[in-house]
């Protein structure tokens, strides 16, 4: 099968994509009843549900963990059945599921009541070579045991008091104005990479939102959509230049961004990889997220408040916005302070100019003599 091509579906199964970009599968014969199938395709769970639908039986219940009820694997399985788990984003669920699977394997599926602060701290310290992984591991375990504590599975949260890995990083490098100019020279209006870049920069959306954004989110020049990561609805105004770029670029019915064959990208990862490759074609070694950071920087430098940035970029915490407003404030305050110093220096430093011979001017000598 050619890489990137969708897998052929079983008979009577259709693939649909929600407005949030989630891929779903349904079973339906003719105009009969639609039956929702598991999202994981292909998988044993999907195969079992499909066979049940073929003979008109209800889908089999998801098997509960076969692990003993005192083991970490059992606790994780119960957590993944909870409303707390369902309330997190698909990306967060996937990330944490992989971290839990790895932790269970590395610790040989221990009794969760035996897990102490010492064990969690050691697990965090063992991951110091990959600080981001250590940070996400601790966040995942805190979420698991906070839920377990509320539901009386444990009496204490072993993550309380655990010291996280301390590291400083600016994350994805921010685009510069020169990067944007270089990209535009390589990708003129009418090309799909140019449209993607302008969408990122103007909307401030993440790749997971841009790759499913379309004309259905646009009313005149006002763009509104609920972000996939945080569920926050953002509303921004598209300038005339971006509307002209959209009109000049081949797009899909429900997606601004499409592949060369006119079909939408299958995932945010495939879209992100495609855009990164187009950046390299323009000799710009940056990513889509760096454009989002440039947009936030430009807005903050122009005086946008923290709450304006939160509304624009869909942030839930004011601290995220203040990362940019504080930098902008420091620039403005630094310039203002330097102007104060310059003003004071004008009053205390005489502006005597040299006469060209390296000595004092005749006016200075005469003024002193008198």
Given this model, what pLDDT does residue 56 score? 83
State the Cα–Cα distance between residues 246 and 253, nearest whole angstrom.
Answer: 12
Q: What is the pTM of this model?
A: 0.56
Given this model, what pLDDT does residue 5 score? 41
Given this model, what pLDDT does residue 169 score? 58
Given this model, what pLDDT does residue 243 score? 94
Given this model, what pLDDT does residue 220 score? 93
Given this model, what pLDDT does residue 94 score? 84
- In the predicted model, residues of the chain with pLDDT beneath 70 are 1-7, 18-22, 61-67, 167-171, 349-370
């Amino acid at each position: 099968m050619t890489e990137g091509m969708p897998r052929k579906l079983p008979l009577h199964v259709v693939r649909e994509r929600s407005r949030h970009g989630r891929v779903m599968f349904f079973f339906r014969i003719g105009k009969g009843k639609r039956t929702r199938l598991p999202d994981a395709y292909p998988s044993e769970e999907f195969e079992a549900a499909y066979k049940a639908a073929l003979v008109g039986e209800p889908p089999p219940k998801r098997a509960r963990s076969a692990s003993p009820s005192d083991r970490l694997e059992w606790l994780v399985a119960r957590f993944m059945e909870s409303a707390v788990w369902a309330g997190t984003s698909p990306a967060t669920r996937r990330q944490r599921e992989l971290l839990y699977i790895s932790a269970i394997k590395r610790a040989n599926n221990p009794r969760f009541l035996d897990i102490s602060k010492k064990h969690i701290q050691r697990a965090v310290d063992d991951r110091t070579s990959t600080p981001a992984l250590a940070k996400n591991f601790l966040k995942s375990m805190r979420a698991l045991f906070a839920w377990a504590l509320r539901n009386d599975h444990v009496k204490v949260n072993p993550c309380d008091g655990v010291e996280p890995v301390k590291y400083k990083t600016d994350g994805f490098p921010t685009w510069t104005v020169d990067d944007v100019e270089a990209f535009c020279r390589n990708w003129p209006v009418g090309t799909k990479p140019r449209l993607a870049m302008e969408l990122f920069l103007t909307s401030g959306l993440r790749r997971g939102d841009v790759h499913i954004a379309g004309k259905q989110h646009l009313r005149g020049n006002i763009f509104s959509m609920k972000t996939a990561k945080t569920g926050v609805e953002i509303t921004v105004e598209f300038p005339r230049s971006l509307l002209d770029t959209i009109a000049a670029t081949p797009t899909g019915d429900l997606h601004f961004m499409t592949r060369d064959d006119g079909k939408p990208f299958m995932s945010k990862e495939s879209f992100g990889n495609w855009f990164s490759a187009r950046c390299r074609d323009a000799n710009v070694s940056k990513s889509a997220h760096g454009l989002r950071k440039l947009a936030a920087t430009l807005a903050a430098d122009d005086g946008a408040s923290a709450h304006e940035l939160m509304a624009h970029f869909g942030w839930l915490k004011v601290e995220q916005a203040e990362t940019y407003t504080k930098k902008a404030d420091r620039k403005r305050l630094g310039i203002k302070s330097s102007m104060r110093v310059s003003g004071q220096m004008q009053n205390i430093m005489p502006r005597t100019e040299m006469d060209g011979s390296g000595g004092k001017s005749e006016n200075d000598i005469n003024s002193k003599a008198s």
